Structure 1
Amino acid sequence: MTTTKNILIFGATGLIGEHITQAILDQKSHFDRIGIYTSDNTLWTKHEDIGRLKSQGVEIFSGNVTSRDAVNEAYTGFDTIVSCVGRSVIQHQIQLIELAEKHPDVKKFFPSEYGTDIEYGPSSANEMPHQQKLKVRAALKKTKDLEYTYVVTGPYADADSGLFLSARSEEDEQSGTFDVQRKRAVLLGDGEGKISLTTMYDVGRLTVAALLHSEAAKGRALKVNSFTATPKEIAAEFERQSGGHQWKVSITSLDKLKQLESRAYQQGSPQAGVLTLRRIWTEGGTLYERRDNHLIGMEDGMETLEDAVKRAIEVQMA
Structure 2
Amino acid sequence: MAEKTRILIIGGTRHLGKFIVEASVEAGNPTFVLIRDSTRFPSAKSQLLTTFKSRGITLLHGDIYDHDSLVMAIKQVDVVISTVSTDLIDDQVKIIAAIKEAGNVKRFIPSDFGTDVDNIEGAIEPAASFFEAKAKIRRAIEAEGIPYTYISCYGFASYFLDTLAQENATSPPRDKVVILSDGNAKAIFNDERDIATYTVRAVDDPKTLNRTLHIRPPANIMSFNEVVSLWERKICKTLEKVHIPEDQVIRNIQESSFPKNFVLALEHAVFVKGIMTSLQKNPSVGVEATERYPDVKYTTLDEYLNQFIQ
Q: Does 1:284 align with 2:274?
A: yes
AA in 1 matched with 2:80: I
Report deviation, 1:8: 0.5
What is residue 187 of structure 2 aligned with on the other side? 195
- Aligned residue for 2:276, secondary structure, equals coil
Give CA-to-partner distance per residue, 1:182-226, whole Å, 9 cap, x none. 43322222122211122212111110121132x111112222134
Write the letter of the residue equivalent to 2:262.
Answer: G
> For the residues of structure 1 that align with 2:238 and 2:81, how far apart are their CA atoms?
43
Match of 2:134 in 1: 133
> In the alignment, does 2:253 pair up with 1:238?
no
Tell me the amino acid that sits aligned with residue 267 of structure 2. Answer: R
2:119 corresponds in structure 1 to: 120
Is the deviation greater in 108-117 or in 291-300?
Answer: 291-300
C-alpha displacement of 1:104: 3.2
- What letter corresponds to residue 231 of structure 2 in structure 1? F
Which residue in the other structure is 1:107 paired with?
A: 106
TM-score by length of 1: 0.84
2:284 counterpart residue number: none
Confirm or deny: 8 A CA contact 1:8 1:80 kept in the other structure. yes
**Alpha-carbon contact 1:91-1:136 (below 8 Å) kept:** yes
Cα distance in 1, alignment partners of residues 228 and 170 from structure 2: 7
Contiguous gaps of at least 5 residues in structure 2: 282-286
Whole-angstrom CA distance in 1 between matches of 2:140 and 2:67: 17
Secondary structure class of the residue paired with 1:259: helix
Match of 2:19 in 1: 19
Aligned AA (1:133): K
Aligned residue type for 2:276 = T
Give structure 1 regions of 4+ aligned residues with deviation exceeding 4 angstroms.
121-126
| Aligned residue identity for 1:286 | M
Q: Specify the alignment match of 2:305 in structure 1.
A: 309
User: Higher mean Cα deviation, 229-238 or 121-130?
Assistant: 121-130
**Aligned residues of 2:161 and 2:305 also touching (Cα < 8 A):** yes
Q: Determine helix, strand or coil for the equivalent of 2:138.
A: helix
What are the Cα deviations for residues 66-93 of structure 1, in whole angstroms up to 9, with x where unaligned?
Answer: 1001111111220100111110111221
CA RMSD across the alignment: 2.6
Unaligned ranges ≥5, structure 1: none
- Matching of residues 50-129 of structure 1 within 5 Å: 50-121=49-120, 127-129=128-130
Deviations 1:34-77 (A, max 9, x none): 10002222375511111111111100012332100111111122
User: Quick check: 2:122–2:269 contact (8 Å CA) kept in 1?
Assistant: no
Q: Separation in 2 of the partners of 1:278 and 1:13?
A: 26
Shift of 1:24: 1.4
Shift, 1:179, TM fit: 4.5
Q: CA deviation at 1:301?
A: 2.7
The corresponding residue for 1:9 is 9
CA distance in 1, matches of 2:301, 2:98: 41
Matches within 5 A, 1:203-214: 203-213=195-205
Q: In the superposition, relative to structure 1, how do residues 228 and 235 fare at CA in structure 2: closer, same or farther (>3 Å)? A: same
Matched, 1:271 2:257: no
Going from structure 1 to structure 2, the CA distance change for 1:251 and 1:4 (only over 3 Å counts) comes to farther
- Which residue number in structure 2 is paired with residue 150 of structure 1? 150
**Matching residue of 1:220:** 211
Report how far residue 149 of structure 1 moved.
0.8
Question: 1:178 & 1:54 partners in 2: Cα distance?
Answer: 32
Identity of aligned residues (%): 21
